[in-house]
């Protein structure tokens, strides 16, 4: 048990209570930003995520670094890749890749996309068929495939696993982590409390989207959270979003939402020092670290569906082989080269 108090002379109040036996921690309750005791996942207790550490390092920019998002976007536009294709590619990788990180030597991408016909003006009907992104020496490849049983279009890796995850760790685009999960000194109250989520800073009004399919559980003002939305997902998972400036139209308890659907907008309501969203994940009513918890993947193809996918994968690989090597364009302003495959039709 560790004491903490808002000011000298006042009665001390424990901010963390730990129940343990001789060898393991049995349970943990911690004082939240709202002044209530909440159950905390014991494995996530007071962890500062590796992602947060990387983000903090990235913020110490000497002016020469180029962000991955910026590098991909500028390189693709120079190669006449449509903006809609670039945005689709960013969405495909949004579950695994932090696009705010700096570009490193060796980072590259391929994108194979379809349009109306070769040489025609590229319209918004273009669609990504294949994408490959190498970041930090690790390459992830995804193929477009429409599953015949439900007619849903998704992107799958070479083994038939969906690019999507059950939940996302970052429920908005182009945000920077400002505060991780665990014990911290509250920026307004000035004393140590349990920070039960992750703070993602973004410009005022940035759309916040549902991190997974679910049902709206709560919408409204929630003390220090300000304008707040809480979603209920399958298998005991819940997510919560605080400090919003406004809710998306139609947000009300009982409404079903899909992953990626806008549910509100970044603000600074409640006990907040700047524009951001406070994002929480709960599992069976226990707060867990959104950046460390192992999240289940989306769909994994098997049986006849996997056989159909393999045929489509080989068809796309053959088409790309027939097109020859992709163009390789060096960016003098970035420390890495990037690739863009200039294919307009199937």
pLDDT band at 83, cuts 50/70/90? confident
The yes-or-no verdict on residue 106 having pLDDT over 70 is yes
In a domain, 35, yes or no: yes
Q: Does the predicted TM-score (pTM) go above 0.75?
A: no
pLDDT recorded at residue 129? 92
Structural domain count, the chain: 2
Question: Any idea what the CATH number is for the domain that residue 74 is in?
Answer: 3.10.450.350
CB atoms within 10 A of CB 7: 7
Q: Which range marks the domain in which residue 90 is found? A: 68-164+300-340
Q: Are residues 309 and 183 in the same domain?
A: no
Q: Are residues 176 and 237 in the same domain?
A: yes
Residue of 86 and 303 predicted with greater confidence: 303
- Average pLDDT of the residues in 170-198: 69
- Average pLDDT over all residues of the chain: 75
Q: Are residues 305 and 250 in the same domain?
A: no
Maximum separation of any 2 CA atoms in the chain, in Å: 77
The yes-or-no verdict on residue 31 having pLDDT over 70 is no
In a domain, 346, yes or no: no
- Average pLDDT of the residues in 204-220: 94
Name residue 139's beta-bridge partners: 134
- Average pLDDT of the residues in 257-286: 90
pLDDT band at 163, cuts 50/70/90? confident
Q: Are residues 181 and 273 in the same domain?
A: yes
CB atoms within 10 A of CB 24: 7
pLDDT recorded at residue 34? 53
Q: Are residues 222 and 194 in the same domain?
A: yes
Q: Are residues 159 and 216 in the same domain?
A: no
Q: Are residues 179 and 270 in the same domain?
A: yes
The yes-or-no verdict on residue 188 having pLDDT over 70 is no
Q: Are residues 153 and 219 in the same domain?
A: no
User: How close are the terminal C-alpha atoms of the chain, in Å?
Assistant: 64
- Structure tokens, 151: 């007619």
Most confident option among 120-129, 186-195, 213-222, 314-323: 213-222
| Neighbour-count burial of 164, counting CB atoms closer than 10 A to its CB (0-12 exposed, 13-18 middle, 19+ buried) | buried
């Amino acid at each position: 048990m560790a004491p903490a108090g808002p000011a000298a002379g006042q009665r001390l109040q424990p901010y963390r209570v730990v129940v343990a036996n001789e060898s393991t921690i049995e349970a943990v309750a911690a004082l939240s930003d709202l002044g209530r005791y909440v159950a905390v996942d014991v494995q996530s207790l007071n962890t500062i995520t590796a992602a947060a550490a990387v983000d903090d390092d990235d913020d110490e920019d000497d002016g020469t670094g180029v962000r991955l998002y910026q590098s991909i976007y500028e390189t693709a536009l120079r190669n006449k890749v449509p903006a809609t294709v670039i945005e689709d590619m960013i969405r495909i990788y949004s579950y695994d890749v932090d696009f705010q990180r700096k570009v490193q030597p060796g980072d590259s991408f391929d994108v194979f996309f379809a349009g109306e016909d070769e040489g025609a003006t590229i319209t918004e009907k273009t669609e990504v068929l294949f994408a490959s992104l190498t970041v930090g020496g690790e390459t992830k490849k995804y193929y477009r495939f429409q599953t015949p049983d439900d007619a849903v279009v998704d992107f799958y890796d070479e083994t038939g696993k969906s690019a999507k995850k059950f939940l996302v760790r970052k429920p908005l685009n182009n945000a920077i982590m400002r505060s991780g999960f665990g014990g911290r000194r509250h920026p307004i109250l000035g004393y140590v409390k349990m920070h039960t989520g992750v703070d993602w800073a973004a410009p005022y009004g940035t759309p916040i989207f549902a991190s997974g399919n679910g049902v709206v559980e709560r919408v409204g003002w929630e003390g220090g959270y300000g304008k707040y939305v809480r979603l209920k997902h399958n298998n005991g998972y819940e997510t919560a979003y605080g400090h919003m400036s406004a809710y998306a139209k139609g947000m009300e308890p009982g409404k079903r939402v899909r992953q990626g659907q806008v549910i509100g907008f970044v603000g600074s309501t409640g006990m907040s020092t700047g524009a951001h969203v406070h994002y929480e994940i709960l599992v069976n009513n226990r707060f867990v670290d959104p950046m460390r918890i192992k999240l289940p993947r989306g769909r994994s193809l098997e049986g006849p569906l996997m056989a159909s996918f393999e045929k489509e994968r080989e068809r796309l690989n053959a088409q790309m082989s027939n097109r020859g090597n992709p163009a390789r364009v060096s960016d003098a302003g970035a420390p890495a080269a990037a690739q863009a495959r200039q294919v307009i039709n199937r």
